[in-house]
Amino acid sequence: EGVLLWADNFCIPKNAQHKEAAHLFLNYLLEPKISAKNSEEIGALMSNEKMIDFLSPEFREKTKGLDFPLDRETFLKSSYFTGYQNLEFLKQINELAKEIK
């Protein structure tokens, strides 16, 4: 069996007024202790392996088997969840991405 994959992403628009603040905020979110707090709050593991040491024993037990990294065999049987199942929506997403670049 595979698993349902997804990725949440942050980006900083090219014309952002406060780019330095945005970078500081993203770096803050990537700190291991903060990543661990976020994981426990939303109930999902983050991709920051260093945060594992900061997770509570209860959360570690609850997420057992969702270890880092996902083994290749399971990964190859998995698929990404996408919110865009039609071409028109995908076109809109691509147009928005162009504005960010």
- Mean pLDDT per block of 10 residues along the chain (101 residues) reads 78 94 96 94 83 92 73 82 71 84 65
pLDDT at 43: 85
Query: What is the C-alpha to C-alpha distance for residues 68 and 66, in angstroms, rounded to an integer?
Result: 7
- The pLDDT of residue 67 is 62
Closest CA to 4 of 83, 79, 85: 79
Token pair listed for 54: 């900061």
The pLDDT value given to residue 101:
65
pTM of the model: 0.63
Per domain, the residue ranges of the chain are 15-100
> Residue 54 in contact with residue 33, Cβ under 8 Å?
yes
